[in-house]
Amino acid sequence: MRDVRMKGFAERADVEEVERFLAERVRALPPEEVALAECAGRVLAEDVRAGVDVPPFARSAMDGYAVRGEDTFGASAYDPIELEILGESLPGRPYAGRVARGQAVRIMTGAPLPDGADAVAMAEGCSERAGRLEVREAVAPRKNVGAVGEDIAAGAVVLRAGRRLRPQDVGLLASIGAARVACVRRPRVRLLVTGDELLPPGSAPDAAHIVDSNSPMLRALVARDGGETLPHEILPDRPERIRAELERADCDVVLVSGGSSVGQEDHAPGLVAELGSLDFHGIAMRPSSPAGLGRIGARWIFLLPGNPVSCLCAYDFFAGPAIRALGGRPRAWPHRRARLPLARKISSAVGRVDYVRVAVEDGRVVPLATSGASILSSTVRADGFVIVPREREGMPEGAEVEVLLYDEACA
Ligand code: AMP
Ligand code: MG
């Protein structure tokens, strides 16, 4: 690509073209073994098959008495049946003997059913008197007994590759004896924050400096999308420093914040082109039109404009889907969606995608008047955003639109 500094973009790529480019090339990272205690929220890299039955033994589902069901047939409050009590079966401490006709074993929930018994009479329907049991209710065979493999049968696939592990999934993995599982490796993301005017988060802004608001935002976005952000420093707008960072091969993704446009201090695009490939620079969208992306070695480089709204928007359109896909997650928008009518029209130019911040008021979608890419507070006031496709010339008042909501991201 030619040097666009102080000239501007000759042409801009379509958003869909960039999305297609990423969808075709970004693949999930290789698997790694993850200990059970760490695997909640991670993406399974392979199907998991149970090697054992759960439960592995027939067990009581009640506190009561292990009996032979047929021994209790005909029992009632008026006509109880008496059985001999042999002993007891407790969880983890089974009764070693066998239950024969006319016999019973005291048993607790979770304890193995003794040989010979086929049902459990609930404690509430029985009484013990002088070492003998009185059963006042008949119990059918198999009643109150958890059968071998009733939860999970040996050989069954319990979780499929691609599953994002829920807390209960981790519990189930433990129940089949798993200690570690193969998960898709989490993408390692390096922030490359440039700008001579930037102070680190936690500083007070002064007469010539502003505080870097992009890196805390990007860290949170990367965490939402399942990536891991490496430590970083703010870099001055000096090409040799930016080059050195771009050359570090210890990550899967580099998010360049700022210095990615066509200004004379915007060094990153040329460096990406020199060190690898600058696949796109300049995209037909608003905000974020100076965004770009490229590759250096196996690393994906996203050029995010420094203006905070542009940075957020370019991340969400391009870097987010790539980071999710690298980590084995669906590339689709992770936002909850709502379909609601527009309270006021949205204007937009044909030929570019618009990212319009909106508030939801009384069930109607209100486009926010402030549309400047530097006005981060507009995204704080907004409940979400509406995407106006390239071919649309805005959207009329009253039209049903789809809002992607900023809160409750459900990835
Ligand atoms: P740039 O993309 O570097 O040309 O920056 C565009 C605008 O965004 C300028 O006003 C910068 O001061 C501002 N900006 C750049 N980086 C950041 C950042 N990390 N946090 C907040 N504002 C920034
Ligand atoms: Mg800058």
More confident call, 410 vs 315: 315
Tens of pLDDT, residue by residue over 176-218, are 999 999 999 999 999 999 999 999 999 999 999 999 999 999 9
Where does residue 197 rank: exposed (0-12), middle (13-18), buried (19+ CB within 10 A)? middle
When pLDDT is averaged across residues 281-294 and rounded to a whole number, the result is 97
- Rounded CA separation 270/276 (Å): 10
Q: Which atom of ligand 1 is nearest to the CA of 212?
A: 20
**Tokens 């542009």 appear where?**
310
**Is 219's pLDDT higher than 50?**
yes
pLDDT band for position 10 (cuts 50, 70, 90): confident
When pLDDT is averaged across residues 23-40 and rounded to a whole number, the result is 98
Nearest ligand, measured from the Cα of 308: 1
As a whole number, the mean pLDDT across the chain is: 96
Q: What is the pLDDT, as a whole number, of residue 20?
A: 98
φ, ψ for residue 218, nearest 5 deg: -65, -40
Q: What is the pLDDT, as a whole number, of residue 330?
A: 97
Q: What is the pLDDT, as a whole number, of residue 357?
A: 96
CA–centroid distance, 301 to ligand 2, in Å, is 17
Sign of CA dihedral 173, 179, 185, 186: positive
Q: What is the pLDDT, as a whole number, of residue 131?
A: 87
Where does residue 359 rank: exposed (0-12), middle (13-18), buried (19+ CB within 10 A)? middle
CA–centroid distance, 95 to ligand 2, in Å, is 76
Q: What is the pLDDT, as a whole number, of residue 4?
A: 86
pLDDT band for position 409 (cuts 50, 70, 90): low
Beta-bridge partners for 93: 90
When pLDDT is averaged across residues 245-264 and rounded to a whole number, the result is 96
pLDDT band for position 411 (cuts 50, 70, 90): very low
Coil/strand/helix, residue 235: strand
**Which residue owns the Cα nearest ligand 1 atom 20?**
212
More confident call, 407 vs 142: 142
What is the three-state SS of 88-124? Answer: EEECCECCCCECCCCEEEEECCCCECCECCCEEEEHH
What's at 327, amino acid-wise?
G
CA–centroid distance, 105 to ligand 2, in Å, is 79
CA–centroid distance, 217 to ligand 1, in Å, is 13
CA–centroid distance, 152 to ligand 1, in Å, is 55
pLDDT band for position 410 (cuts 50, 70, 90): very low
Nearest ligand, measured from the Cα of 311: 1
- Name residues contacting ligand 1 (CB within 6 A): 193, 195, 197-198, 210, 212-214, 257-261, 263, 305-308, 374
190, 251 contact by CB (below 8 A) = yes
